[in-house]
């Protein structure tokens, strides 16, 4: 407590304020209660179909791969095909997301779907996105038993399922929805904005994919 009051006193004396100023308090409370929007790039302000197309274009530009399916029922086959085409074992790790459990996995009988956190370095996981952002091809993931955060980072290959109507034009629209779902001013433990697969350019500025997170990011857009 000693340090806190010392630091606060230093901040206030440097700013020549005493902390009791009603106008300053009002300005802060107002901003926190009703966050001003700021500048929203025109790039993402499109109709739903065009937002989906822009998301796919932007995600591919940052070395993600994408696939489009008509409905959630088509996801199991799309996953099995992706694994086969990349010579990967037919095993995926998922969380307990009801949207994922409800998918007809019997359509891909050779595929093993494990409800756990992956441990092997060459694993493949599938997590369901909370939302997508068209302006930069970003997938937004929220933590919890449905989609454990570890499954976004530990696997070699990360498959993301994203519902097309959840693709917004900009980040700000996603925060609005997050407040509706999780309550104002509260957040899940972790929110991940993911824009392409992991990478590093730390050795002579040569870009290499797969630094510590997934080497490959595959987004299946539903709808």
Partner 1 sequence: MVEVTTPNFKENTKAALADANLQKALGKVRTGFIGKRADAAAALPEFENLRDKARDIKNHTLAHLDLYLEAYEKKVTDSGGHVHWAETATDAQQIILDICRKVDAKTATKGKSILTEEIGLNDFLSKEGIEPIETDLGEYIIQLRGEAPSHIIAPAVHVTKQQVEEDFRHYHTHLDKDRNLDDPATLLNEARAILRQKYLDADVGITGANFLVAETGTSIIVTNEGNGDLTQILPKVHIVLASLEKITPTLEDVSQILRVLARSATGQDMSVYTTFSTGPKRPSDPDGPEEYHVVLLDNGRSDMLGTEYEEMLRCIRCGACMNHCPVYHAVGGHAYGWVYPGPMGAVLTPSLIGVDKGGNLPNASTFCGRCEAVCPMRIPLPKLMRHWREKEFEKHLQPSAARYGLKTWAFFAKRPKLYQFMTRVGIGALGLIGKNRGSFSSLPFAGGWTKHRQLPAPQGKTFQQMWAQRQSTASGSGRGA
Task: Of 143, 137, 133, give the one whose Cα is nearest residue 171.
Answer: 133
Residues, the chain, total?
A: 223
- Strand partners of residue 112: 91
Cβ-based nearer residue to partner 1, 32 or 102: 32
Residue list 25-44, contact with partner 1 (CB under 8 A): 25, 27-28, 31-32, 35-39, 41-43
Cβ-based nearer residue to partner 1, 154 or 164: 154
Alpha carbons 140 and 17: distance in angstroms, whole number: 40
**CB under 8 Å to 132, separation ≥6 — which residues?**
55, 138, 139, 140, 162, 166, 167, 168, 219, 221
Please give the backbone phi and psi of residue 65, each rounded to the nearest 5 degrees, phi first: -105, 155
Q: Which stretch binds partner 1 (CB under 8 A): 48-56, 72-80, 160-168, 194-202?
A: 194-202
For the purposes of burial, counting CB atoms within 10 Å of the CB of 170, is it exposed (0-12), middle (13-18) or buried (19 or more)? Answer: buried
Question: Exactly one of 72, 75, 192, 216 binds partner 1 (CB under 8 A); which one?
Answer: 192
Q: Least CB distance from residue 3 to partner 1, whole Å?
A: 4
Residue list 142-181, contact with partner 1 (CB under 8 A): 143-145, 148-150, 152-154, 170-172, 175, 178
Q: Least CB distance from residue 14 to partner 1, whole Å?
A: 4
Q: Least CB distance from residue 26 to partner 1, whole Å?
A: 10
Question: Exactly one of 54, 58, 79, 108 binds partner 1 (CB under 8 A); which one?
Answer: 58
Q: Does 106 bind partner 1 (CB under 8 A)?
A: no
Q: Least CB distance from residue 15 to partner 1, whole Å?
A: 6
Question: Exactly one of 197, 216, 218, 219 binds partner 1 (CB under 8 A); which one?
Answer: 197
Q: What is the SS3 assignment for 127?
A: strand
Site residue total, partner 1 (CB under 8 A): 78
In the chain, what's the furthest Cα-to-Cα distance? 70
The answer to whether 105 and 111 are in contact (CB under 8 A) is: yes
Q: Does 4 bind partner 1 (CB under 8 A)?
A: yes
Q: Which stretch binds partner 1 (CB under 8 A): 47-55, 104-112, 160-168, 187-195?
A: 187-195
Please give the backbone phi and psi of residue 150, each rounded to the nearest 5 degrees, phi first: -55, -35
């Amino acid at each position: 407590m000693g340090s806190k009051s010392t630091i606060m006193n230093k901040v206030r004396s440097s700013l020549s304020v005493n902390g009791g100023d009603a106008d300053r308090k009002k300005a802060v409370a107002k901003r926190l209660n009703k966050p001003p929007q700021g500048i929203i790039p025109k790039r993402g302000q499109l109709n739903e179909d065009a937002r989906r197309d822009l998301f796919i274009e932007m995600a591919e530009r940052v070395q993600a791969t994408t696939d489009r399916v008509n409905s959630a029922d088509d996801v199991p086959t799309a996953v099995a095909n992706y694994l086969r085409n990349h010579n990967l074992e037919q095993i995926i790790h998922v969380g307990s997301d009801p949207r994922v459990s409800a998918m007809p996995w019997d359509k891909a009988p050779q595929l093993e779907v494990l409800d756990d956190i992956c441990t092997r370095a060459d694993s493949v996981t599938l997590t369901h996105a909370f939302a997508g952002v068209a302006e930069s091809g970003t997938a937004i993931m929220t933590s919890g038993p449905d989609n454990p955060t570890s499954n976004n980072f530990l696997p070699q290959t990360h498959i993301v399922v994203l519902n097309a109507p959840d693709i917004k034009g900009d980040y700000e629209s996603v925060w609005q929805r997050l407040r509706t779902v999780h309550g104002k001013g509260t957040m899940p433990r972790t929110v991940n904005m993911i824009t392409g697969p992991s990478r590093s350019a730390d050795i002579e500025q040569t870009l290499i994919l797969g630094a510590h997170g997934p080497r490959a990011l595959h987004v299946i857009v539903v709808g």
